Amino acid sequence: MLWCMARKCRIKKKRKTMTHQEDVLYECALAAASTLQQVAQEKLNTAYTLGWPHVIYAPRLSIDGNQWCALYGENLQDGVAGFGDSPNEAMLAFDKAWVKKLTGDSP
């Protein structure tokens, strides 16, 4: 927000000799820097989210009994699945199952 009443700007002046125009430009620069920082953070969040297995592989989501099931593959024996009380919990369980290593008795 930019506002000025009788040439008194709402930001603290770094120098006593700053003009009104310099005050406004300084405030605009601060606002732009803050916006750029927010955009950069959103890009990082998006890149992180796009790397989740459930985002990449898009498992089928269905209800199995009293829980949600996120399944990638033809069936539970041959595919990867995650179960949870909500779709979100099922997808997060799917992500954990995706990175889990097979044990010695698994195919």
Q: How far is CA 43 from CA 15, 37, 47, 57, in A?
A: 35, 10, 6, 21
Q: How far apart are the first and last CA of the chain?
A: 62
Q: Answer for the pair 55, 61: CB distance below 8 angstroms, yes or no.
A: no
Is 104 within the bounds of a domain? no
Residue 31 lies in a domain: yes
Domain region containing 33:
18-50
- In this prediction, residue 81 carries a pLDDT of 97
Residues 61 and 87 sit within 8 Å (Cβ to Cβ): yes
29-75 pLDDT per residue, tens: 888 888 989 988 888 888 777 889 999 999 999 999 999 999 999 99
Q: Answer whether residue 10 is part of any domain.
A: no
Report whether pLDDT(7) > 70.
no
On whether residue 61 sits in a domain, the answer given is: yes
67 and 91 housed in the same domain: yes
64 in any annotated domain: yes
Number of folded domains in the chain?
2
